[in-house]
Chain A
């Protein structure tokens, strides 16, 4: 079946550092890929998405590129802030968000220190 693998952390960085959170996937179809973020005490929020190979999703300074050849969707940000501290989840959908629901990675806890 489908699966998503991501580094679990915690990942601790200093403010203004460069961030990469790795995400790789296995899927039977041609999935859509997502990054969700969960800030402390809040619900899951969609951060960015990509629906086909070589698509780049971006939002709030974060970027991720859909790499079919390496089955990866790594999350990057050039300069992190304390407010980026959160848990980040990589996810996929085989049906474009339909009947199969989303398959999530286990989440990466990111801690940004001032």
Chain B
């Protein structure tokens, strides 16, 4: 069946612009996760959704980051006023309850 998909696969943006990253989870998976993978920090957990709600947003790196999930399905991660340190691969994962299945990621480059 279809796995987790993310779009765009690559995004180059200028410093100060806003970007939206999209995640389509596996159908029926109730949990959805966002992670960031960068050379300096490795893999960092950002936020978790159970259904449409995110119980804890403290993992988001700054208040420029926000995320939402609608209809218990698609999620978007929005970064406002991007900075060069936001350059990374953003990974989404979904889960039916325990194991997490990862998408291919969005590579964000801020110039």
Chain B residues with CB under 8 Å of chain A are 4, 31, 33, 35, 42-43, 45-46, 48, 50, 55-56, 59, 91, 93, 95, 97-105
Q: Which residues of B contact A102 (CB under 8 A)?
A: 33, 35, 43, 45, 100
- Contact check, B50 vs A101: say whether CB atoms are below 8 A apart: no
- Contact check, B55 vs A99: say whether CB atoms are below 8 A apart: yes
Tell me the count of chain A residues lying within 8 A, CB to CB, of chain B: 22
Chain A residues with CB under 8 Å of chain B are 32, 36, 42-46, 49, 89, 91, 96-107
Judged by DSSP, the binding face of A is: loop
- B3 (CB) vs chain A CBs: closest residue: A43
- Contact check, A104 vs B102: say whether CB atoms are below 8 A apart: no
Q: Which residues of B contact A104 (CB under 8 A)?
A: 42-43
- Contact check, B42 vs A97: say whether CB atoms are below 8 A apart: no
User: Shortest CB–CB separation between residue A106 and chain B, in angstroms?
Assistant: 4
Known: A43-B91, A104-B42, A105-B42. A96 touches B98 (CB 8 A): yes
- Contact check, A49 vs B31: say whether CB atoms are below 8 A apart: no
- Contact check, B103 vs A97: say whether CB atoms are below 8 A apart: no
* Interface-centre pick from B4, B45, B95 (highest chain A CB count, 10 A): B45
